[in-house]
Amino acid sequence: MNEKNDNDQTGIRRLKRIVIGKARDVSDPEIFRHTSLIAFLAWVGLGADGLSSSAYGPDEAYRALGPHGHLAIILTAMTAVTIAVISTAYANLIEYFPGGGGGYLVATKLLGNRVGVVSGCALLVDYVLTVTVSIASACDQLWSFLPSHVIGYKLMTEVLIILFLVVLNLRGVKESVNFLTPIFIAFVIAHVATIGYSLTVHFTRMPAVFHDAATDFHASVHSLGMVPLLLLILRAYSMGGGTYTGLEAVSNGVSMLREPRIVTGKRTMGLMAVSLAFTAGGIMFSYLLVGAHPSHGKTMNAVLLSSLFGEMHLGGIPIGTGIVIFTLITEAALLVVAAQTGFLDGPRVLSNMAVDSWMPHRFAQLSDRLVTQDGILMMGLAAFAALMYTHGDVTTLVVMYSINVFITFSLSLLGMSKHWIQDRKKERKWKSRLLIHGSGLILCVSILVVTIYEKFAEGGWITIAITGVLITIAFAIHRHYQNIRAGMRRLDEVLTDIPPIQPDAKPQPLDRNAQTAVIMVKSFSGFGIHEVLSIHRLFPRTFKNFIFISAAVVDSGTFKGAQEMDSLESETRADLERYVHWARGQGMNADYRMTVGTDPVQTVTEMCKAIVEEYPRAIFFMGRLIFREEKWYYRILHNETPNAIQRRLQFDGLQAIVLPIRVLES
């Protein structure tokens, strides 16, 4: 039976290694270079979200103008200005928050923890919808030229793409970006060529376009009035808010950029802003040049491409159709790349909130591929649920998506505006910075208010409701962890009752053949002391050796640079030395062992196997919190590491005991 189980586990590990890849070594001094992104790759991995929005942002804005399509020239200018303002604001934000975290961290630091939670929850929903809207829009591009009888396979295709991206991201950040880079480059080349061709071929129509826009504007003022016309333009501008939805991605993902991160981040931000302004503005202006009109079952970009290339032939060969299909395929493929941003930044925001105890702590853990595995899986499940709820309807998804993006934008820019006002005496450039962030705040709040007002009944209410529920859950989780911390502080009261630590006498060597208690601990606290006292109570005068072990677990909060890793290792070693000094002061023969890893279960299990080779009569002890009432969600909020380690060790024939440590919740 044991041989069969061993074979099964070996088969599972082999399959995992094939699909996801072999484990990374966190002790590798070059690990951050291997996993970080240079500006170009960051533009691909994080900028694709912004650039891909040119596939649906200008489309929604142009359709919202209705019969006043010539006013799109005003929207083109407004789009370029908005991109410039928001991207400049976020470039400044990178400078002041080089550790990443984006909207969540900015709101937390500048507006308070509670506002930070609102921003963080809005970002989480935003990134889920980044995945969903990108994939749904990608399939819309493909189904613009596919025959109608295959429409039934659209939803299934979208689900399969989500599964593909989940697996790809479990392999690692850089691997996923490298895989998708050729798609990104093909999109850029195809759309630069399309816009350039449109401007060149229809260059002589430009005076007529400007003249028609001016005539349409004056006629609309005469028939509608100035205020209604401005409201129409504002509405169309707001409906195209999806164009700007990816601009915050770089500031959220600074920690995955190559050093120097501020320089890399600003360079990436510049690439993103220029490419998005050119593509989104160029596409909308091209609609005007070719006189494109909305067509049922086709995106506006499909209409534009058909107008430009549909009738093109070369020696009787209809090459235009091939160009249209190729360009739409690059759009669809880039939208899939854009969904990647949700899998890069969404788990990162989730892990930042987990480190601050607003989300279950398990979301801060890294897999052996150094990715936040639980966060990636959660993003995939949530994106699947959103896809099922909306049936992949892009119009509904863009509305839901835009609302949360502009909640985060508004809070981030409000926080930075507050910063410049409060620190104006310290900041030499505070006026120009306040002008940028203040202007961005006005633009974002305007888009947010109009979008909610216009689209509340068409999907707006559901994203507000989901975000509200998520915020409520975050506060409940935080309250639970605070209660647990209060209970743990009561455990620490035992430290006041124990004799003071005496200077070490000459350490006695541990007897290899003596009974040895190997105790798994974390920081030096009452919890660990309770473990030792419980061992003495349960097994009086049994153990002659005491070995304290700890795994310096690398999570998303510490995997940011060599300095953080060194600090983690130093703190873990210092805590273990305090346990050893205390134990020796009580007359025990004590020592410690430690190692660094990402998976506490595997790391501790391997350490225990090494110890039993040295001390054959070792018994392993680990403490587990127990509560008066075990509620069903405690398994989500608290890991089962002690029990998992016990199962592994017992399966390998080693003696392992889990000690119950009571904690009273407040």
Q: For 571-586, what is the HEC assignment?
A: HHHHHHHHHHHHHHHC
Instruction: Specify whether domain 494-662 bears CATH 3.40.50.620.
Output: yes
Q: 402, 400, 379, 394: which is closest to 138 by C-alpha?
A: 394
> Which secondary structure element, helix H or strand E, spans residue 39, and what is its range?
helix 39-45
What does the block give as tokens for 543?
């153990």
Q: What is the pTM of this model?
A: 0.74
DSSP one-letter code for 655: -
Count of other CB atoms within 10 angstroms of residue 485 = 12
- Answer yes or no: are the C-beta atoms of 334 and 134 closer than 8 Å: no
The pLDDT assigned to 467 comes to 92
- Answer yes or no: are the C-beta atoms of 127 and 346 closer than 8 Å: yes
Report the alpha-carbon distance of residue 648 to residue 656 in Å, rounded: 9
Strand partners, 624: 660
The pLDDT assigned to 99 comes to 67
- Answer yes or no: are the C-beta atoms of 198 and 308 closer than 8 Å: yes
Angle, CA of 415, 421 and 426, to the nearest 5°: 110
Compute CA 294 distance to the chain's CA centroid, rounded to the nearest angstrom.
35
- Answer yes or no: are the C-beta atoms of 263 and 424 closer than 8 Å: no
What does 322-360 look like in DSSP terms, one character per residue? HHHHHHHHHHHHHHHHHHHHHHHHHHHHHHHHHHTTSS-
Task: Report in angstroms the alpha-carbon separations of 354 from 9, 111, 338, 403, 429.
Answer: 30, 19, 25, 24, 35
Report the alpha-carbon distance of residue 221 to residue 215 in Å, rounded: 10
What does the block give as tokens for 62?
């142009």
Residues of the chain with pLDDT under 50: 1-9, 12, 16, 18-20, 25-26, 28-34, 368
Query: What are the helix (H) ranges across 456-525?
Result: 460-491, 494-497
Q: 71, 435, 11: which is closest to 232 by C-alpha?
A: 71
The pLDDT assigned to 382 comes to 92
What does 131-191 look like in DSSP terms, one character per residue? HHHHHHHHHHHHHTTS-GGGGGGHHHHHHHHHHHHHHHHHT-HHHHHHHHHHHHHHHHHHH
Specify the domain boundaries for CATH 3.40.50.620 within the chain. Answer: 494-662
Helix axes 57-64, 394-422, angle to 10 degrees: 100
Compute CA 296 distance to the chain's CA centroid, rounded to the nearest angstrom.
35
Fold of domain 36-458: Amino acid/polyamine transporter I (1.20.1740)
Helix axes 394-422, 373-390, angle to 10 degrees: 130
Report the alpha-carbon distance of residue 459 to residue 391 in Å, rounded: 13
The pLDDT assigned to 292 comes to 81
DSSP one-letter code for 67: T
Residue whose tokens read 């006043």? 68
The pLDDT assigned to 475 comes to 95
292 in helix, strand or coil? Answer: coil
- Answer yes or no: are the C-beta atoms of 138 and 333 closer than 8 Å: yes
Report the alpha-carbon distance of residue 402 to residue 246 in Å, rounded: 10
At position 526, the amino acid (one-letter code) is G
Q: 512, 195, 242: which is closest to 395 by C-alpha?
A: 242
Report the alpha-carbon distance of residue 643 to residue 624 in Å, rounded: 8
Report the alpha-carbon distance of residue 34 to residue 18 in Å, rounded: 20
Cβ neighbours for 223, distance < 8 A, ≥ 6 positions apart? none
Count of other CB atoms within 10 angstroms of residue 163 = 11
Strand partners, 660: 624
Task: Report in angstroms the alpha-carbon separations of 274 from 51, 264, 279, 435.
Answer: 10, 16, 8, 21
> Which secondary structure element, helix H or strand E, spans residue 88, and what is its range?
helix 72-96
Q: 517, 518, 649, 498: which is closest to 582 by C-alpha?
A: 498
Cβ neighbours for 614, distance < 8 A, ≥ 6 positions apart? 512
Angle, CA of 79, 213 and 291, to the nearest 5°: 85
- Answer yes or no: are the C-beta atoms of 601 and 641 closer than 8 Å: yes
Specify the domain boundaries for CATH 1.20.1740.10 within the chain. Answer: 36-458
Report the alpha-carbon distance of residue 274 to residue 270 in Å, rounded: 6
Report the alpha-carbon distance of residue 301 to residue 286 in Å, rounded: 10
- Answer yes or no: are the C-beta atoms of 255 and 99 closer than 8 Å: yes
Cβ neighbours for 277, distance < 8 A, ≥ 6 positions apart? 79, 80, 83, 84
Report the alpha-carbon distance of residue 120 to residue 104 in Å, rounded: 5
Report the alpha-carbon distance of residue 520 to residue 620 in Å, rounded: 8
Report the alpha-carbon distance of residue 297 to residue 621 in Å, rounded: 65
At position 89, the amino acid (one-letter code) is A
Strand partners, 592: 548
CB environment 635-664: b (16+ within 10 A), e (fewer): eebbeebbebbbebbeeeebebbbbebebe
Report the alpha-carbon distance of residue 329 to residue 335 in Å, rounded: 10
- Answer yes or no: are the C-beta atoms of 345 and 252 closer than 8 Å: yes
DSSP one-letter code for 69: G
- Answer yes or no: are the C-beta atoms of 333 and 161 closer than 8 Å: no
Residue whose tokens read 């609309």? 220
- Answer yes or no: are the C-beta atoms of 326 and 243 closer than 8 Å: no
Phi, psi of 217 (to 5 degrees): -60, -50
Q: 547, 551, 657: which is closest to 611 by C-alpha?
A: 547
